[in-house]
């Protein structure tokens, strides 16, 4: 019997295609002969919008790029502005940024392990992962008031210091007093108390994820030797993050080009051996454990070292209400900052961070005005998606789903 050759659309309707990826597959029966990704269905002109607004007004756009790794995106953009302006960020703000970058990394990997599990037929892991995700999202809410798009990092530091209280669950018809007390048990103290409590419990939670998946026969059948990426191929396609480390290349910007407080904390870089979907899963699980280590160290340091979280510079930081009432110059600076913004010295810079999905960078060009002359963002997902054809050829159609999942793609940053 002759095997039929045909072309098919994978997505954008398919759940694994996120509603915004059209993958044109040339098939021979169930085997992929060629894969052609079509992107652009979510294009929002983020870079052009940023070039039309004062610098600070674009921080919120960064949250909406990779909307699972919000503060890490802000970090790259804010670092680019600080580098051009020669701003030295207070050490306490650097530790807060480091802690929240790692909270964001765990948030991202929890979303990944849950959604990738669903893509490959594992239902329970999604419910487990989102249990912890809700608690970390509350940490976002505590410092910024927002559960997703925080806009917490600012040139010169962070918006405000860590609060002394945590958001609490309230009474409702579906929650009795006993249940309410249990839910709020670790929310009676400060934000640092809550995060410390989370870091003590989280390793056991990761053990539960591994119980569900790591030795699961069906999970291994869907991931072992699927989508093998050799170190040479990973480097040739410009892969970063877990895609690169899963292939055995020990490259991590937090170690190789340290920023924030990463040179002051102790952590390891997990790497894979075979470069398949299973190795990338193991790397992400190990990264959650390492992020937990980093957060613990940041909590200990922040407890022992109070201090400013923003530079004392009216050009980029608003004066306090007390200062405005007593000083006309401070009042003028306040109005100027929120109406016109600030001018950044002419020049160009590229600043990158080790985002949860890989290297996220901001190339910023200033002509001395109060808004960017050019902004070009370097998302990891775009480079990873480019390799789709090279990786999935010869695989079955169902393995394409596993491959899209293991890329950990969010199209907000791919399409921008």
Whole-number pLDDT of residue 322: 80
- DSSP 3-state percent helix, strand, coil across the chain (nearest 5): 50, 10, 35
Whole-number pLDDT of residue 2: 67
The parts of the chain modelled with pLDDT lower than 70 are: 1-2
Q: Contact, 153 vs 85, CB < 8 A? A: no
**In this predicted model, what pLDDT tens digit does every residue of 234-278 receive, in sequence order?**
999 999 989 999 999 999 999 999 999 999 999 999 999 998 999
DSSP E strand stretches across 116-210? 153-154, 157-158
| Nearest to 276, CA basis, from 173, 371, 102, 403 | 403
Task: Say what the pTM is.
Answer: 0.93
Ranges of each domain in the chain: 55-341
70's enclosing H/E stretch is: helix 70-85
Q: Contact, 101 vs 75, CB < 8 A? A: yes
**In this predicted model, what pLDDT tens digit does every residue of 161-213 receive, in sequence order?**
999 988 888 888 887 888 888 888 888 889 999 999 999 999 999 999 999 99
Token match 């480091």: residue? 98
Whole-number pLDDT of residue 42: 86
Q: What Cα–Cα distance (Å) separates residue 207 from each residue in 218, 222, 235, 394?
A: 18, 21, 32, 34
CATH ID of 55-341, from 3.20.20.150, 3.60.10.10, 1.10.645.10, 3.10.180.10 = 1.10.645.10
> What tokens were used for 367?
């002509």
Q: What does the chain come to in residues?
A: 416
């Amino acid at each position: 019997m002759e095997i039929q050759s045909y072309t098919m659309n994978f997505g954008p309707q398919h759940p694994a295609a996120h509603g915004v990826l059209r993958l044109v597959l040339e098939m021979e029966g169930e085997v992929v002969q060629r894969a052609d990704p079509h992107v652009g269905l979510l294009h929002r002109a983020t870079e052009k919008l940023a070039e039309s607004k004062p610098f600070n007004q674009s921080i919120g756009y960064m949250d909406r790029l990779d909307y699972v790794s919000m503060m890490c995106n802000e970090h790259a953009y804010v670092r680019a502005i600080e580098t051009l302006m020669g701003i030295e960020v207070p050490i306490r703000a650097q530790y807060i940024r480091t802690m929240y970058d790692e909270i964001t990394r765990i948030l991202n990997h929890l979303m990944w392990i849950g959604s990738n599990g669903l893509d490959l037929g594992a239902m329970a892991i999604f419910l487990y992962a989102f249990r912890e995700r809700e608690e970390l999202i509350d940490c976002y809410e505590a410092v910024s008031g927002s559960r997703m798009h925080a806009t917490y990092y600012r040139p010169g530091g962070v918006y405000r210091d860590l609060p002394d209280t945590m958001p609490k669950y309230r009474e409702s018809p579906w929650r009795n007093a006993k249940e309410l007390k249990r839910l709020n048990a670790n929310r009676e103290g400060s934000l640092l108390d809550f995060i410390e409590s989370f870091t003590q419990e989280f390793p056991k939670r990761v053990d539960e994820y591994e119980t569900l998946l790591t030795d699961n026969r069906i999970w291994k059948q869907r991931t072992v030797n699927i989508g093998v990426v050799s170190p040479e191929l990973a480097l040739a396609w410009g892969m970063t993050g877990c895609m690169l480390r899963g292939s055995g290349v020990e490259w991590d910007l937090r170690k190789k080009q340290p920023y924030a407080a990463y040179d002051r904390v102790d952590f390891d870089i997990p790497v894979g051996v075979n470069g398949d979907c299973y190795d990338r899963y193991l790397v992400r699980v190990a990264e959650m454990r390492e992020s937990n280590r980093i957060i613990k160290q940041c909590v200990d340091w922040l407890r022992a070292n109070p201090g400013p979280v923003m530079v004392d510079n009216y050009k980029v930081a608003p004066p306090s209400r007390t200062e405005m009432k007593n000083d006309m110059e401070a009042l003028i600076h306040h109005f100027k900052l929120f109406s016109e913004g600030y001018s950044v010295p002419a020049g160009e810079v590229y600043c990158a961070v080790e985002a949860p999905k890989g290297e996220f960078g901001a190339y910023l060009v200033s002509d001395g005005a109060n808004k960017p002359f050019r902004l070009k963002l370097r998302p990891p997902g775009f480079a990873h998606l480019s390799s789709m054809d090279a990786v999935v050829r010869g695989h079955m159609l169902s393995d394409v789903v596993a491959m899209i999942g293991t890329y950990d793609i969010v199209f907000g940053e791919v399409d921008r």
